Structure 1
Amino acid sequence: MKPKVFLEFVEIKSLIASVLPFVLGTLYALYNYHQVHLGYLVLFFIASSLFHMATNANDNYQDFLNAPRNADNQEFLETTNVVGVNQISIRQARTITFGLGGVSLVMGLWLVTQTGLPLLWMGLYSYAVGYFYAGGPKPISSGPFGEFFSGFTMGFMIFWIAVFINTYDRVPLTWANTLAVLIASGLAIFAIANIMLANNICDADEDVALGRHTIVSYLGKPVMLRVFAWSYVAGYVCLAAAVWLGVLPWLSLLTLISAVPVFKNTRQFMRKQVKTETFILAIKNATIICLSFVVFMGLGLIFN
Structure 2
Amino acid sequence: MKAKVFLEFVEIKSLIASVLPFVLGSLYAVYNYHQLHLGYLIGFFIASSLFHMATNANDNYQDYLHAPRNADNQEFLEVTNVVGVNQISIRQARVITFGLGGLSLILGLWLVSRTGWPLLWMGLYSYAVGYFYAGGPKPISTGPLGEFFSGFTMGFMIFWIAVYINTYDQVALTWRGTLNVLLASGIAIFAIANIMLANNICDQEEDVALGRHTIVSYFGKPTMLRVFALNYVFGYVCLLLAVWRGVLPLFSLLTLISIIPVWHNTRLFLAKQVKRETFILAIKNATLLCLSFVLFMGLGLIWH
Q: TM class, shorter-chain normalised? A: over 0.9
Q: Which residue does 1:267 correspond to in 2?
A: 267
Q: Which residue does 2:76 correspond to in 1?
A: 76
Distance (Å, rounded) in 1 between the aligned partners of 2:292 and 2:258? 7
Tell me the CA shift for residue 121 of structure 1.
0.1
Tell me the CA shift for residue 28 of structure 1.
0.1
List structure 1 runs of 4+ shifted beyond 4 angstroms: none
SS of 1:19's partner is helix
Aligned length in residues: 304
Tell me the CA shift for residue 145 of structure 1.
0.1
* Alignment TM-score, normalising by the size of structure 1: 1.00
Is 1:23 matched up with 2:56?
no
Tell me the CA shift for residue 235 of structure 1.
0.2
Instruction: Show structure 2 runs of 5+ residues with no match.
Output: none
User: What is the one-letter code of the residue matched to 2:123?
Assistant: G
Q: Deviations over 1:15-51 (max 9, x none)?
A: 0000000000000000000000000000000000000
Q: What are the residue-to-residue correspondences of 1:15-164 with 2, within 5 Å?
A: 15-164=15-164
Distance (Å, rounded) in 2 between the aligned partners of 1:270 and 1:55? 29
SS of 2:277's partner is coil
Tell me the CA shift for residue 223 of structure 1.
0.1
Q: Which residue does 2:226 correspond to in 1?
A: 226
Distance (Å, rounded) in 2 between the aligned partners of 1:14 and 1:112? 26
- Indicate the RMSD between aligned Cα atoms, in angstroms: 0.2
Tell me the CA shift for residue 127 of structure 1.
0.1
Distance (Å, rounded) in 2 between the aligned partners of 1:128 and 1:186? 22
Is 1:255 matched up with 2:255?
yes
Q: Which residue does 1:202 correspond to in 2?
A: 202
Distance (Å, rounded) in 1 between the aligned partners of 2:120 and 2:271? 44
Distance (Å, rounded) in 1 between the aligned partners of 2:26 and 2:194? 23
Q: Deviations over 1:67-124 (max 9, x none)?
A: 0000000010000000000000000000000000000000000100000000000000
Q: What are the residue-to-residue correspondences of 1:162-241 with 2, within 5 Å?
A: 162-241=162-241
Instruction: Show structure 1 runs of 5+ residues with no match.
Output: none
Q: Deviations over 1:201-255 (max 9, x none)?
A: 0000000000000000000000000000000000000000000000000000000
SS of 1:243's partner is helix
User: What is the one-letter code of the residue matched to 1:229?
Assistant: A
User: What is the one-letter code of the residue matched to 1:55?
Assistant: T
Tell me the CA shift for residue 156 of structure 1.
0.1
User: What is the one-letter code of the residue matched to 2:36?
Assistant: V
User: What is the one-letter code of the residue matched to 2:294?
Assistant: V
State percent identity of aligned pairs. 83
Q: Which residue does 1:12 correspond to in 2?
A: 12
SS of 1:246's partner is coil
